């Protein structure tokens, strides 16, 4: 059964790369709702360790506390994936109190497209007695956005010290071990992409299906999955996704890092090397795609129907490399150099995105023309700042 969160939580999810959400609905059990990158969800599905942290920090001379809730996923034992949130709403606080005190818990995991791709039983083990006492008293929720950011920045430092073995921290940090028993991943049916499941063997194909589903909604009748051309009678794939209007073209190469079916565990460092390698390959492929299209060769759909690309009227060519994760550990200075080099050599605008960022850009756009404009604005911001590590806030202008 797929879980459908409230509209308020869905709205929050759109603007978060990852997050931990709580909502109380009448007398029902309060579920743990977590948005995570697909790679991290797959690590949980493979039974990696999951912990919860509650951090109480004293403020205003000890009169009040702030509460930060964190989930830590040991997809990499040396560098676990963390997502956390300092509570700033009284209704949310009440839901959190109920969630941590109840015995039967549910965990619902949502991916970059805000799809509930995995759920299951979520048991809190070795709960501290203080959770049933005065632990949740004197928590201040009416805090400013800037103060919330300050608290969360300090929390990051405290968690890092905790993992280094430091037990003398200036906050009350409670660690709760958990046990997650997953249900069978649901099969998500999409009219354009077909059936998609978390556990499908072809993880790259699953990503391409998700992208095609997104683009097909906007570029109805002019979006294609795995278009092809013929070279000396041999069939060649042109690119993963192609979409166009009269004045612009969008070409996407999707490069996902294999998580579920691999012999070696994918540590953070190995993941970064994998992403960089895939990115380099995708850029070369995009250059080849532009060259092929520029020669006005006949291009066909996967069903072998001729695709009529308006080459003469297309003014902009947006080339997107879709990677597993826009990880801060990537060498973004070097990526900026590749973006400029690509423009100079191929006359196309290169974008390095993950699925979360692509979804936001499309959500912000109402039409294909809006999408083109938002891609241009985002590219110009990157060009001027010389920093491709950019996240869009859908509530604001790009």
pLDDT digits (tens, 9 = 90+) for 339-351: 999 999 999 999 9
C-alpha distances (whole Å) from 159 to each of 54, 154, 217, 293 are 11, 9, 42, 51
**Cα(148)–Cα(134) distance, integer angstroms:** 23
What's the confidence (pLDDT) of residue 4? 85
Enter the pTM of the model: 0.75
Residues 197 and 333 in one domain: yes
Low-confidence ranges of the chain (pLDDT < 70): 1, 27, 127-133, 186-206, 257-266, 393-398
Number of domains in the chain: 2
Whether 200 and 53 map to the same domain: the answer is no
- 39-75 pLDDT, tens digit per residue, is 888 889 888 899 999 999 998 888 889 999 999 998 7
DSSP string, 175-242: EEEEEEEEPPPPPEEETTTEEE-TT-S-HHHHHHHHHHHHHHHHSTTSEEES-EEEETTEEEE--SEE
Please provide the average confidence, as pLDDT, over all residues in the chain: 86
Q: Write the DSSP symbol of residue 313.
A: T
Token pair for 118: 């995995």
Domain residues for the domain of 33 are 7-182
Residues 6+ apart with CB under 8 A from 180: 44, 47, 50, 107, 120, 121, 122, 123
Report whether 215 contacts 223 (CB < 8 A). yes
Residues 373 and 354 in one domain: yes
Distance CA 362, CA 27 (A): 37
Q: Specify if 264 maps to a domain.
A: yes
Q: Are residues 160 and 220 in the same domain?
A: no
Same domain, 192 and 289: yes
- Evaluated on CA atoms 43, 47, 48, 49, the torsion sign reads positive
| Among candidate residues 182, 197, 212, the one where a domain is terminated | 182
The answer to whether 10 touches 33, Cβ cutoff 8 Å, is no
């Amino acid at each position: 059964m797929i879980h459908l969160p409230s509209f308020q939580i869905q709205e929050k999810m759109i603007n978060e790369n990852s997050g931990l959400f709580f909502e109380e609905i009448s007398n029902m059990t309060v579920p743990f709702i977590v948005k995570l990158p697909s790679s991290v969800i797959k690590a949980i599905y493979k039974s990696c360790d999951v912990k919860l942290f509650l951090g109480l920090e004293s403020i205003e001379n000890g009169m009040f506390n702030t509460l930060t809730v964190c989930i830590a996923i040991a997809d990499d034992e040396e560098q676990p994936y963390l997502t956390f949130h300092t509570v700033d709403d009284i209704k949310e606080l009440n839901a959190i109190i109920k969630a941590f005190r109840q015995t039967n818990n549910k965990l619902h995991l949502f991916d970059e497209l805000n799809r509930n791709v995995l759920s299951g039983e979520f048991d809190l083990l070795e709960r501290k007695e203080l959770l049933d006492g005065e632990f949740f008293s004197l928590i201040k929720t009416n805090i400013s956005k800037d103060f919330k950011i300050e608290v969360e920045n300090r929390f990051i430092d405290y968690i890092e010290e905790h993992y280094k073995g430091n037990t003398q921290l200036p906050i009350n940090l409670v660690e709760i071990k958990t046990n997650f028993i997953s249900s069978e991943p649901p099969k998500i049916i999409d009219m354009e992409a077909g059936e998609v499941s978390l556990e499908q063997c072809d993880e790259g194909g699953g990503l391409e299906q998700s992208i095609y589903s997104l683009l097909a909604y906007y570029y109805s009748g002019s979006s294609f999955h795995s278009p092809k051309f013929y070279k000396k009678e041999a069939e060649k794939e042109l690119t993963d996704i192609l979409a166009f209007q009269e004045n612009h073209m969008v070409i996407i190469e999707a490069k996902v890092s294999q998580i579920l079916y691999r012999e070696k565990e994918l540590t953070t460092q190995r993941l970064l090397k994998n992403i960089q390698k895939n990115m380099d390959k995708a850029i070369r492929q995009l250059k080849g795609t532009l060259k092929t299209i520029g020669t006005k060769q006949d291009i066909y759909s996967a069903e072998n129907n001729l695709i009529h690309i308006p080459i003469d009227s297309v003014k902009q060519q947006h080339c997107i490399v879709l990677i597993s994760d826009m990880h801060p550990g990537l060498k973004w200075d070097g990526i900026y150099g590749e973006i400029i080099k690509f423009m100079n050599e191929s006359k196309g605008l290169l974008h390095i995105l993950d699925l979360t960022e692509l979804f936001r850009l499309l959500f912000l756009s109402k039409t294909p023309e809006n999408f083109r404009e938002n891609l241009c604005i985002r590219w110009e911001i990157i060009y001027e700042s010389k920093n491709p590590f950019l996240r869009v806030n859908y509530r604001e202008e790009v």
